[in-house]
Amino acid sequence: MVRQRSILSLILVILTTFLISCGGPSVATAPPTYTPDQLAKIQVYVPDIQVVRDRSKELNNLIQSGEWIKVGNFIHGPMTEARLNMTYVIPNLVPQDQPQARQITKDLLTHLVRIDQAASAGNTNLALSAYKDVFVDVDKFLQLIPESSPQAES
């Protein structure tokens, strides 16, 4: 009889432990945040993306003046480098922003190809249309970038 009580007590302890661990109150999980390391990695690439964003008028002027070789150089130089920097930033974004960031970089590539094709054909209207789309994409991407906090920079 004592032996049965011991076994029964052991079973009840195991069952209780299992039920408490599985059926406890749900704990609200905090939204994903950036670690200081992720912020540091992101901030390495953001200035280069921002510099290209700030040079948008330069590309506009090149397209309007029909300097197609310089348009191609700008697209294959600074713009391609900015797109590459964007791809380096994506893995450091919070998981829910990564698919959107990937789509933005794909759209950016599509719009850069359109500018390049328009430059090859000398089509100013198509190039200007794609130019606007390129910088809309860059702005969308920059909106996904977290603000760096003073604590993260220390």
- Tell me: the pLDDT tens digits for 86-119? 999 999 999 999 999 999 999 999 999 999 999 9
**Residue 14 placed within a domain:** no
Report the chain's terminal Cα–Cα distance, integer Å.
67
Range of the domain at 52: 34-148
- What is the DSSP-derived secondary structure letter of residue 72? H
Does the model's pTM come out above 0.75? no
Measured between alpha carbons, how far is 25 from 38 in angstroms, rounded to an integer?
A: 32
pLDDT at 24 over 60: no
Q: Which residue has the higher pLDDT, 38 or 148?
A: 38
Does residue 19 sit within a domain? no
How far, in Å, CA of 89 to CA of 33, rounded? 15
Residue 87 vs residue 149, higher pLDDT: 87
Q: Is residue 63 one of the residues assigned to a domain?
A: yes
Which residue shows structure tokens 């049965």? 4
Counting the structural domains of the chain, the total is: 1
Tokens representing 15 are 């069952």
Q: Please report, as a single letter, which amino acid is at residue 89.
A: V
Residue 27, in any domain of the structure = no
- The CATH code of the domain that includes 139 is 1.20.120.290
Q: Which of 43, 51, 41, 76 is nearest to 138 (CA)?
A: 51
